[in-house]
Structure 1
Amino acid sequence: MSHHSSKSLRTTKPAKERFPLSLLCLTLGAFAIGMTEFIIMGLLPNVASDLGVTIPQAGQLITSYALGVAIGAPILTVFTHKLPQKKLLVILMGIFILGNAVSVIAPTYLLLIIARVLTAFAHGTFLGVGTIIAARLVHPDKRAGAVSVVLAGLTVANIIGVPFGTFIGQQLGWRASFGAITVLGIISLFGIIRFIPVIVQQETANLREQVRGLLNPQVLLILLTGALGCGSLFALFTYITPMLQGITGFREQSVTWILVLFGAGVTLGNIAGGKLADWKLMPSLMVNFAVLAVVISTLTVTMSHPVLAVSNIFLWGIAAFGIMPGIQLRIMNLAHKAPLLATTSSHSALNLGNAAGAYLGGVAISSFGLTSIPSLSAALAVLALAGAWLSYALTGGRRSATAAPGDAPAA
């Protein structure tokens, strides 16, 4: 007990509460961020018709957001890694609120794209810094729980936020959805200012070590694998609303409920994926990619039958999101000495995959029509499977699956 008695004076107070209030402010921030990223999926036809652009062009609003995350996360991390963390969170939430406020009033397609990119800049770094702070707000033995509470904000945004935001958008116009997100951002900002303590930072790994951790070929390979997995997800998810309306024949109101069901699948996938990754990391990841490819391929057949399409989408949500915990864990294992840039860059790589998926989906629709989307998505999942297999083979199979952080190959 004596080894942390000096700290116990400071930590007794928050330790009594299950989760400090400060943690909920971070979760709310993550919730708002998740909602911003995914809300456009449900409103794609509305935004397209309002701004007078095609569905593939509206899809570029998702591509541009993802690119903003990809470029913004490492750049902001590099430039701000000396800033006090609380101050940084306040600045990031300010950028986020500004970007969403501009989205509410953006009169043109181009201005909306610029607002989306601005909002996206805050995304990766907020989640990176937010999870690091979360881990330090609680007792050492509750760290993983604290991080998952913050990241749960993103998952819950998919189940509750996106369908609710889509519903608001369908009733009051898509701009109202961004208005609601702006309000959430403001509440989160006040919470951060009021409840998050100023944390004295320990010495962070210097930038050279961070970059070396990131440029390890093993890390790059798993980042590419994750990006392909995300490409598969976004090629399909970006255009799911026009597909459900155009091919399956659902009315606008029904889409909201299908998105709720998809969100439930996502949550199950996330939980199951975490458990499987803890059990056997790389084998479970490879099986998951294989299952994903099969589940998506069946959509080519089921998409024209309402009941089959909906159950297929639920299964796809489970399979697609079972992958995320494993990819994150693998990145942390491989870049253990200097994880900040590698974990922030994982948001970049995964969002580059999101951007590429949304973009390729748009190209496929323009060339071959909406029905070609599942084939494209399944092909990307197969490529991701090849990447996971290669990563597993290169690190000598079994050893890497159980490697403690200390046995990682020297960079």
Structure 2
Amino acid sequence: MLGNFVTGTSVLAPAGMLPDLAAGLGVTIRDAGLLITFGAIVLCIGSPLTAWLTSRIDRRLLLTTTLAVLALGNLASAFAPNYAVLLVLRLAMLSVGALYTPQAAGAVALIVPPESRGGTMAYVFLGWSLAVALGVPLVTFAADHAGWRGAYLTVGSIGLISFILLWLRLPSGLTAAPVSLRTWAAVGRNRRILTLLGVSSLQTSGQFVVFTFFGPLLTGLTGAGPREIALVFAIYGVCGFVGNVIASRIVDGWGAYRTSALFTALMLAGIAGWTFAAGHFAVMAAAVAVWGLGFAASNSMQQVRLVTADPMLAGATVSLNTSVLYVGQAIGSALGGTLFAAGLLHVNGYVSTAVLTLALCMVVVATRDRNA
């Protein structure tokens, strides 16, 4: 879970300090946002590719090495002399970092019994909720007080601590079933899995139209400063943490389908509230709380549903779902950046609402299964 916190914070860090990065590197906010877009492209390619290439490697060695690269990449980013070098460092770091989240989920499946996987996987994915609840606000606070370089040093230091703890605590000898070309072919023939992956892509695309530019949008729409922006990030993440805890408690009784539909509906309600309350900070912050309740839990339920759709393909489908999430990040952040650069700050919310409406329709109609 702590490793997911480091991974999530590393991936999302630029969103917490876009104005500082833009000012410090002499680029526009849209260009600074491309650090997320290009990083997501690398992640979406790297996740299934590395799952295939590393499927025979011991999970302890694989996961700790990945965390070490993330830690060192963040530390090196603190000393990047310009935007181009920072971008190259980020892409190199995330090309390896793509391994962590799906392989952590695979390692959990090897450690706990089948009847406990749903709740345990939701617990491990709390790391991403914490990345938004604590990691991104910490980045925003550090960038405001110590500059963007200080923010990267902070994330890198936490990464080193996580690397040491995981090396000491994770048992060795954990190996997953090898991922072969036949595995990918089987995934491609499974219509249910492909539909679930489509849902993941829509959920993430819709959110990142707004999420990538949380700070600049809040400033432009409400005049919010760094403290208010950090507060909204914290609300989003804390509520994501709470939502994931609730999901982990109810999923074994409700089933992943009902749980997924509930938390996707909360995401849609929250982003719709953000959209129609644009200009009113308190109401927008309250809407973010509702949105936050859904985002992490929905992702966790997607992972659970993919595992239960075909347990034999779990190693491939979980990594592919992670890849699809990054595709959604790339699409959403690129679209959001285009709208922001055009000065269409209100339109970001309307586009996000439309995409999440489609995602909920797919959950309810196309993946309906009361037993899964």
Kindly report which structure 2 residues correspond to 1:287-326, keeping only aligned pairs within 5 A, or say none: 288-326=263-301
Rounded Cα–Cα distance in structure 1 between residues aligned with 2:361 and 2:322 = 21
Rounded Cα–Cα distance in structure 2 between residues aligned with 1:238 and 1:110 = 20
Kindly report which structure 2 residues correspond to 1:165-204, keeping only aligned pairs within 5 A, or say none: 165-199=139-173, 201=175, 204=177
Do the aligned residues in 1 keep the contact of 2:261 with 2:360 (CA within 8 Å)?
Answer: yes
Which of 67, 75, 78 is residue 93 of structure 1 equivalent to? 67
**Cα distance, 1:285 vs structure 2:** 3.6
Do the aligned residues in 1 keep the contact of 2:126 with 2:244 (CA within 8 Å)?
Answer: no
Residues 126-166 of structure 1 deviation map (CA, whole Å, 9 limit, x = unaligned): 22222333454567776556544433222222212221222
Q: Is 1:207 equivalent to 2:180 in the alignment?
A: yes
Rounded Cα–Cα distance in structure 2 between residues aligned with 1:227 and 1:331 = 14
Residues 304-334 of structure 1 deviation map (CA, whole Å, 9 limit, x = unaligned): 1222122122122123334223222221122
158-167 vs 125-134, which deviates more?
125-134
Do the aligned residues in 1 keep the contact of 2:75 with 2:157 (CA within 8 Å)?
Answer: no
Paired letter, 1:388: V
Q: RMSD over aligned Cα, in angstroms? A: 2.5
Kindly report which structure 2 residues correspond to 1:269-280, keeping only aligned pairs within 5 A, or say none: 269-274=243-248, 277-278=251-252, 279-280=254-255
Do the aligned residues in 2 keep the contact of 1:135 with 1:144 (CA within 8 Å)?
Answer: no
Paired letter, 2:370: A
Rounded Cα–Cα distance in structure 2 between residues aligned with 1:125 and 1:184 = 18
Do the aligned residues in 2 keep the contact of 1:225 with 1:387 (CA within 8 Å)?
Answer: yes
Residues 253-296 of structure 1 deviation map (CA, whole Å, 9 limit, x = unaligned): 22212221121221222234445654154355445445533432
Do the aligned residues in 1 keep the contact of 2:52 with 2:178 (CA within 8 Å)?
Answer: no
Rounded Cα–Cα distance in structure 2 between residues aligned with 1:141 and 1:390 = 27
Classify 1:321/1:388 alpha carbon distance in 2 versus 1 (closer, same or farther; 3 Å): same
Do the aligned residues in 2 keep the contact of 1:44 with 1:58 (CA within 8 Å)?
Answer: yes
Which structure has the greater CA radius of gyration?
A: 1
Identity of aligned residues (%): 25
Kindly report which structure 2 residues correspond to 1:70-109, keeping only aligned pairs within 5 A, or say none: 70-109=44-83
1:383 matched to which residue of 2? 358
Classify 1:326/1:190 alpha carbon distance in 2 versus 1 (closer, same or farther; 3 Å): closer
Do the aligned residues in 2 keep the contact of 1:209 with 1:338 (CA within 8 Å)?
Answer: no
2:347 matched to which residue of 1? 372
63-72 vs 292-301, which deviates more?
292-301
Q: Is 1:218 equivalent to 2:200 in the alignment?
A: no
Q: Is 1:229 equivalent to 2:203 in the alignment?
A: yes
Classify 1:146/1:269 alpha carbon distance in 2 versus 1 (closer, same or farther; 3 Å): closer
Do the aligned residues in 1 keep the contact of 2:55 with 2:178 (CA within 8 Å)?
Answer: no
1:126 matched to which residue of 2? 100
SS at match of 2:288: helix
SS at match of 1:402: coil
Which of 5, 15, 22 is residue 41 of structure 1 equivalent to? 15
**Cα distance, 1:191 vs structure 2:** 2.9
Do the aligned residues in 2 keep the contact of 1:29 with 1:153 (CA within 8 Å)?
Answer: yes
- Return the TM-score normalized by structure 1: 0.82
SS at match of 2:61: helix
- Return the TM-score normalized by structure 2: 0.90
Rounded Cα–Cα distance in structure 1 between residues aligned with 2:357 and 2:174 = 45
SS at match of 1:53: coil
Rounded Cα–Cα distance in structure 1 between residues aligned with 2:283 and 2:183 = 47
1:338 matched to which residue of 2? 313
Do the aligned residues in 2 keep the contact of 1:92 with 1:122 (CA within 8 Å)?
Answer: yes
214-223 vs 113-122, which deviates more?
113-122
Classify 1:238/1:31 alpha carbon distance in 2 versus 1 (closer, same or farther; 3 Å): same
Residues 177-214 of structure 1 deviation map (CA, whole Å, 9 limit, x = unaligned): 11111112222223333443321536x15514421342
Rounded Cα–Cα distance in structure 1 between residues aligned with 2:371 and 2:118 = 19
Rounded Cα–Cα distance in structure 2 between residues aligned with 1:173 and 1:320 = 29
Gaps of at least 5 residues in structure 2 are none
1:402 matched to which residue of 2? 371
Paired letter, 2:97: H
Paired letter, 2:357: V
Do the aligned residues in 2 keep the contact of 1:210 with 1:342 (CA within 8 Å)?
Answer: no
Residues 367-408 of structure 1 deviation map (CA, whole Å, 9 limit, x = unaligned): 34222210111111122123324423xxxx4xx3215xxxxx
Do the aligned residues in 1 keep the contact of 2:121 with 2:300 (CA within 8 Å)?
Answer: no
**Cα distance, 1:340 vs structure 2:** 0.4
SS at match of 2:99: helix
**Cα distance, 1:102 vs structure 2:** 2.7
Rounded Cα–Cα distance in structure 2 between residues aligned with 1:370 and 1:235 = 11
Rounded Cα–Cα distance in structure 2 between residues aligned with 1:196 and 1:316 = 33
